[in-house]
């Protein structure tokens, strides 16, 4: 593993100096190789699937693992799509001139070596490898053992694309073992060869990475997202946003898990919103006010406020005012994504300022918590930490920066 880290570091230096044209050519060659090698990839996937079924994995697990012609074409298209994104490197983030004539520029550079640890979705192999290359970084990819054969074949295609474009194949390395000890070594940083770790998978994976990593981590553990229906909320808009935020897809991290309704509109909004949720097939766990308003609501317990259901269940609470809403979100939330519905601009401004979450929305669904919806083109995940990357992590967030200083002989007095 240490040798793998050293190869990644050396390759990172080479791709950091490669032109955008060469990196994009490699991405297109990778997409082509994924298409050409489709039968080998699908054959490997069939073996992974057979093992997963034999091991009694759930249907949802098997579905995440499954590739077919259509899905694989989508994987290749996504890689080609990353080639089409603007170059994130060499962008001048700021420039200014000091009185002594020195001209300063802050320009984007690669981060270095990015380790991505993921579970059973084999498409992450291609997505993560492509995003790292686009941003001039080397990638160390650790696939879940259930998708090991599929990921191995995908990685071969990626490396073929790198080589075709004259870049080092080691810019994308798949950890060549199912041995779980490899994860521990990656989390220790491979002797300085790993700059950041990105976990992609379930809560237990993320928790382990966050607790054991000795290098920075881009991740979120929970997405306990809130919709706060303020006293000045339009009922129809609130209904649309609440139903979408909870039910469009319940398994995504931006799905709403708690609905807070302001005392000031509870008389008119509480019953119709809760009824709409229940009628749409969502279980409601409410406080006493909610249960009094709608008999079909169950009772919420303290645990519910802190639970990310990722299911057709929502917790509902009436709050006295904006202050209580913000306090509730700060106490129980996960600093991921929270929304306010209101026609009151001042209330919205306060909510957006005071809720300390990566993404705060006014009059929009929490399900917009997604790099694609932000216009980032693609994302490697969503981070809730406050260091470096926060919110959707796209190619820009996989960059660092340096200062270029232009003089004409200046010396410091």
Query: In DSSP terms, which residues pair with 228 in a beta bridge?
Result: 260, 340
- Which residues from 210-229 bind a copy of itself, rule CB under 8 A? 214, 216
Q: Which of 337, 340, 304, 302 is nearest to 323 (CA)?
A: 340
Q: What is the CB-side half-sphere exposure of residue 184 using CA atoms within 13 A?
A: 3
374 burial (CB, 10 Å; 0-12 / 13-18 / 19+) is middle
Residue from 91, 188, 208, 248 that binds a copy of itself (CB under 8 A)? 248
| Total residues in contact with a copy of itself, by rule CB under 8 A | 62
Residue 375 sits in the site that holds a copy of itself (CB under 8 A) = yes
- Which residues from 317-346 bind a copy of itself, rule CB under 8 A? 330
Residue 412 sits in the site that holds a copy of itself (CB under 8 A) = yes
* Residue 132 Cβ vs a copy of itself, minimum distance, rounded to whole Å: 14
Residue 219 near residue 206, CB atoms below 8 Å: yes
Residue from 290, 307, 334, 357 that binds a copy of itself (CB under 8 A)? 357
Q: Containing H/E element for 208?
A: helix 203-212
Residue 195 sits in the site that holds a copy of itself (CB under 8 A) = yes
CA distance 118 to 147: 10
CA distance 166 to 121: 29
Could you tell me which stretch among 29-37, 117-125, 268-276, 361-369 binds a copy of itself (CB under 8 A)?
361-369
- Which residues from 12-41 bind a copy of itself, rule CB under 8 A? 13, 16-17
* Residue 241 Cβ vs a copy of itself, minimum distance, rounded to whole Å: 6
Residue from 14, 57, 109, 250 that binds a copy of itself (CB under 8 A)? 109
Residue from 95, 353, 380, 381 that binds a copy of itself (CB under 8 A)? 353
Could you tell me which stretch among 59-67, 125-133, 258-266, 388-396 binds a copy of itself (CB under 8 A)?
388-396
Q: How far, CA to CA in Å, does 231 sit from each of 243, 260, 265, 321?
A: 18, 11, 5, 8
CA distance 46 to 67: 8
* Residue 104 Cβ vs a copy of itself, minimum distance, rounded to whole Å: 6
* Closer to a copy of itself by Cβ: residue 11 or 358: 358
Residue 295 sits in the site that holds a copy of itself (CB under 8 A) = no
* Residue 135 Cβ vs a copy of itself, minimum distance, rounded to whole Å: 12
* Closer to a copy of itself by Cβ: residue 245 or 266: 245
Residue 302 sits in the site that holds a copy of itself (CB under 8 A) = no
Q: Which of 202, 206, 228 is nearest to 361 (CA)?
A: 228
What single-letter DSSP state applies at residue 149?
A: H
Could you tell me which stretch among 59-67, 117-125, 269-277, 372-380 binds a copy of itself (CB under 8 A)?
372-380
Query: In DSSP terms, which residues pair with 319 in a beta bridge?
Result: 262
Residue 251 sits in the site that holds a copy of itself (CB under 8 A) = no
CA distance 332 to 341: 19
CA distance 58 to 76: 27
Which residue blocks in 84-179 are alpha helix, DSSP H?
Answer: 123-134, 148-164
Query: In DSSP terms, which residues pair with 225 in a beta bridge?
Result: 256
Binding site for a copy of itself (CB under 8 A): 13, 16-17, 90, 96, 98, 102, 104, 109, 111-112, 195-196, 214, 216, 234, 237, 240-241, 243-245, 248, 330, 348, 352-354, 356-365, 367-368, 370, 373-375, 386-388, 390-391, 400-412
């Amino acid at each position: 593993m240490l040798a793998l880290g050293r190869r990644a570091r050396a390759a990172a230096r080479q791709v950091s100096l490669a032109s955008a044209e060469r990196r994009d050519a490699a991405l297109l060659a990778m997409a082509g190789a994924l298409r050409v090698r489709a039968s080998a990839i699908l054959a490997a996937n069939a073996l992974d699937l057979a093992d997963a079924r034999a091991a009694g994995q759930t249907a949802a697990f098997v579905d995440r693992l499954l590739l077919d012609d259509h899905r694989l074409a989508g994987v290749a298209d996504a890689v080609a799509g990353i080639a089409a994104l603007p170059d994130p490197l060499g962008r001048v983030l700021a420039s200014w001139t000091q009185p002594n004539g020195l001209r300063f520029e802050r320009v984007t550079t690669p981060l270095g070596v990015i380790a991505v640890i993921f579970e059973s979705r084999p498409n992450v192999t291609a997505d993560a490898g492509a995003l790292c290359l686009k941003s001039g970084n080397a990638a160390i990819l650790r696939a879940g053992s259930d998708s090991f054969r599929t990921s191995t074949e995908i990685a071969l295609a990626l490396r073929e694309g790198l080589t075709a474009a004259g870049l080092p194949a080691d810019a994308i390395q798949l950890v060549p073992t199912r041995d779980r000890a490899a994860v521990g070594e990656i989390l220790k940083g491979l002797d300085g060869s790993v700059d950041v770790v990105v976990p992609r998978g379930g809560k237990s994976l993320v928790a382990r990475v966050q607790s054991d990593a000795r290098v920075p981590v881009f991740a979120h553990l929970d997405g306990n997202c809130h919709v706060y229906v303020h006293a000045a909320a339009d009922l129809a808009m609130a209904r649309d946003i609440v139903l979408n935020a909870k039910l469009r897809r319940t398994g995504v991290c931006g799905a709403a898990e708690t609905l807070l309704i302001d005392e000031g509109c509870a008389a008119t909004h509480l019953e119709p919103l809760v009824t709409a949720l229940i009628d749409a097939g969502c279980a409601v766990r409410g406080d006493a006010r909610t249960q009094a308003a709608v008999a079909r609501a169950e009772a919420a317990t303290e645990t519910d406020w802190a639970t990310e259901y990722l299911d057709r269940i929502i917790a509902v609470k009436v709050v006295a005012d904006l202050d209580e809403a913000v306090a509730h979100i700060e106490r129980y939330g996960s600093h991921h994504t929270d929304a306010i519905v209101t026609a009151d601009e001042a209330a919205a401004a306060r909510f957006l300022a005071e809720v300390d979450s990566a993404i705060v929305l006014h009059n929009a669904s929490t399900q917009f918590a997604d790099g694609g919806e932000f216009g980032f083109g693609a994302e490697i995940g969503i981070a809730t930490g406050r260091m470096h990357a926060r919110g959707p992590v796209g190619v820009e967030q996989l960059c660092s920066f340096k200062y270029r200083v232009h003089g004409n002989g200046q010396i410091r007095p």
